[in-house]
Amino acid sequence: MPAVAACLNNLCGQGYFCSTSNYCCRCQSGAESGPCVNGLCPAGFACNTNDYCCPIGSSAVLDVCVNGLCPTGYTCGAGNLCYQTTTTG
């Protein structure tokens, strides 16, 4: 889905994130593969808080933190959201 509007003071309407390009999109990266189906997404994508499949990457948001905790591979960060943990190897 394309951007719906430009961000206003780095903010967007409910259900949208301000992308690095300063546009309001369903995913922070600006890319998506569509809505989640029963909480599932294609390989390389994760279901975000908006129930959309967003690319997994260093800035991918999975869901909200629960009591400061996130699933394995994710860390609770800004906005009380679970961000994919980056690993070095």
State pLDDT tens for residues 40-86: 888 777 888 888 888 776 455 666 678 888 888 888 876 666 777 76
Q: Distance from CA of residue 22 to its chain's centroid?
A: 15
pLDDT at residue number 37: 92
Query: Each residue of 20-47: pLDDT tens digit?
Result: 778 888 887 666 778 999 988 887 778 8
Q: What is the pTM of this model?
A: 0.52
| DSSP H helical ranges for the chain | none
Strands (E), the chain: 5-6, 17-18, 23-25, 34-35, 45-47, 52-55, 61-64, 74-77, 81-84
pLDDT at residue number 70: 83
pLDDT at residue number 83: 73
pLDDT of 19 higher than 50: yes
pLDDT at residue number 79: 61
